[in-house]
Structure 1
């Protein structure tokens, strides 16, 4: 029995191009959502008289892990009032929590899902 395969190289090349587009598009989706979460969290915590600089300390950074693009969103400890992040979000024995990062992430989760769906569709259409 002889099997002749035609188009295997072209198919492999198309899959590779799709994977590269998917990586680029997924990175964009993660970056866009991270920016939205950052802005949402800053807006949620703005207006507290004792935390004037804290909203501006909230940042995000992108990286690529083994599963793809990742974003770390939260206060930059090197910025003014940034080290107060855990205390503000979770509270302490003397301070009630002021949740803002968790709710911002929850509010934008569907946006990330939609962004990844678009990334996949655009990569392999």
Structure 2
């Protein structure tokens, strides 16, 4: 069996570059995440307006989103805001109850946005790594 040699030259530089890329990736991903959150909110509202019926006529207006960035972490929360009129009814609409069938409008909005989101995430990462 012959000896094997692995050169680690440049490993520190590569680790530094990857660490620096984290901020660039987050810079590129923030607008992608914000657009996806907006699109999901819009899609969810459209679906909910149709499916909520007369007893949920304000529910769709309670659906909103918040997005925040802390360092290289991006968090988006999308859904009904309980402080808004009929916002507390989200669980009942999405998951149903013993008296009503579920209306998974939020899930449908996420599924509709997912392919576009993942394509944009890939493009954003490539842009960040190319700079």
- TM-score normalized by structure 1? 0.81
2:25 maps to which of 22, 31, 43: 22
Quote the offset at 1:64 in angstroms.
Answer: 4.3
2:35 counterpart of 1:32: yes
1:79 maps to which of 84, 98, 105: 84
Stretches of structure 1 that go unaligned for 5 or more consecutive residues are none
In structure 1, what is the Cα distance between the partners aligned to 2:71 and 2:26? 12
Within 5 A, what are the aligned runs for 1:112-123?
112-123=117-128
In structure 2, what is the Cα distance between the partners aligned to 1:67 and 1:74? 23
Total equivalences in the alignment: 119
Within 5 A, what are the aligned runs for 1:73-112?
73-112=78-117
Within 5 A, what are the aligned runs for 1:38-49?
38-47=41-50, 48-49=53-54
The two structures, once aligned, show a CA RMSD in angstroms of: 2.6
Quote the offset at 1:15 in angstroms.
Answer: 4.6
- TM-score normalized by structure 2? 0.78
Quote the offset at 1:71 in angstroms.
Answer: 1.1
Quote the offset at 1:52 in angstroms.
Answer: 1.6
Q: Which has the higher contact order (CA 8 A, sep 6+)?
A: 1
Post-superposition CA distance 1:2-22 (Å, at most 9, x none):
xxx79x76x94x555532221
